[in-house]
């Protein structure tokens, strides 16, 4: 059966796969290379539980790369045969080759009937855009209406994270301030913001509990909330505890709890916590 609009995204967006299936979202996996072996992070070749079990023992760190072009072509071709228009939402172009792979595949299989969006976001920051697009498409919104809604949302998305370690950021070399920070303060638990694909250090705190409290304070400043997700890197018990804190300000049954994708988890390390939210206008 042909649908009007189908939404595709990369796995960096962290939309849970059961929810993606229910909304008809196609998730294209990225690649994680551990030593000499490469895996799709599709929860088949490499599950998130397995990845985080192995991560603390890996030296050097895994490397990550964009969705393979061949697989992207196959999935875009299938989607193009199922829909009159494709909306593709990609990780930030300045951080990954995913955006360009999406563009190449869409030009080949859906020329003139696709819309490619740079999410400018990571993890559920992008995931919220993907969910909004898919829900709007199912409700009968036009492509123009969906794009306008996504543009209006982008400035209202915030992500905060408390890390249990600086080791992975130091090893990855992805953020220049991490090295200087580690040279000044040992054993700190940084609190970060991830916004428009940029990672910034907001606070440097001695204990993870206090870092988590600061994370909560930051998130609560944005209430009332439109959407909310609790993020973790192999720290489900703490994530569920964090979720309960938001009961007074947001319906618990609507809060997503997400184990963050390996592409990001490689750099932030295990046992971290985060909050992704959309503030109401």
The per-residue pLDDT for range 2-49, each reduced to its tens digit, is 899 999 999 999 999 999 999 999 999 999 999 999 999 999 999 999
CA gap 209, 19 in Å, rounded: 31
Tens-digit pLDDT profile for residues 227-257: 999 999 999 999 999 999 999 999 999 999 9
> Both tokens of residue 218?
């930051």
Element housing 203 (H / E):
strand 198-205
In this predicted structure, the answer to whether residue 180 has a pLDDT above a threshold of 80 is no
Mean pLDDT of 94-123: 96
pTM of the model: 0.94
Comparing CA positions, the residue from 83, 85, 148, 159 lying closest to residue 120 is: 159
Task: Give the Cα separation of 8 and 103 in Å (integer).
Answer: 12
| pLDDT for 1 | 65
User: DSSP string spanning 19-87?
Assistant: HHHHHT-EEE--EEEETTEEEE-SSSSS-HHHHHHHGGG-SSPPEEEPPPHHHHHHHHHHHHHHEEEEE
Domains of the chain with bracketed CATH: 3-30+66-154 (3.40.50.10170), 157-279 (3.30.1180.10)
pLDDT at 281 (0 to 100): 80
- Which residues touch 280 (CB under 8 Å, ≥6 apart)? 156, 224, 225, 226
Residue 222 has pLDDT above 90, yes or no: yes
Percent of the chain with pLDDT over 70: 93
183: pLDDT strictly greater than 50? no
**Mean predicted confidence (pLDDT) in 156-163:** 95
Q: Is there a contact between 119 and 126 (Cβ–Cβ < 8 Å)? A: yes
Cβ contact 12:120 at 8 Å: no
């Amino acid at each position: 059966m042909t649908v009007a609009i189908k939404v595709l995204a990369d796995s960096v967006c962290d939309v849970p796969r059961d929810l993606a299936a229910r909304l008809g979202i196609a998730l294209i996996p990225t690649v994680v290379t551990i030593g000499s072996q490469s895996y799709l992070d599709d929860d088949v070749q490499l599950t998130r539980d397995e990845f985080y079990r192995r991560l603390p023992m890996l030296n050097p760190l895994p490397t990550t790369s964009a969705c393979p072009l061949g697989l992207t072509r196959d999935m875009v071709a299938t989607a193009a045969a199922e829909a009159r228009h494709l909306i593709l939402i990609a990780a930030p172009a300045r951080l990954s080759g995913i955006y360009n792979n999406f563009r190449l595949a869409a030009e080949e299989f859906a020329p003139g009937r696709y819309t490619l969006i740079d999410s400018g976001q990571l993890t559920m920051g992008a995931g919220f855009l993907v969910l909004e697009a898919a829900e709007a498409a199912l409700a009968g919104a036009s492509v123009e209406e969906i794009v306008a809604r996504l543009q209006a949302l982008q400035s209202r998305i915030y992500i905060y994270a408390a890390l249990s370690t600086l080791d992975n950021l130091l090893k990855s070399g992805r953020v220049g301030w991490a090295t200087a920070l580690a040279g000044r303060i040992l054993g700190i638990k940084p609190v970060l913001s991830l916004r428009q694909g940029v990672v910034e250090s907001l606070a440097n705190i001695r204990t993870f509990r206090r870092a988590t409290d600061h994370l909560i304070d930051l998130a609560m400043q944005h209430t009332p909330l439109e959407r909310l997700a609790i993020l973790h890197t192999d720290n489900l018990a703490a994530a569920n505890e964090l979720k309960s804190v938001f009961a007074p300000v947001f319906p618990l049954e609507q809060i997503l709890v997400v184990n963050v994708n390996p592409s990001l988890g490689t750099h932030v390390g295990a046992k971290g916590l985060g909050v992704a939210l959309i503030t109401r206008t």
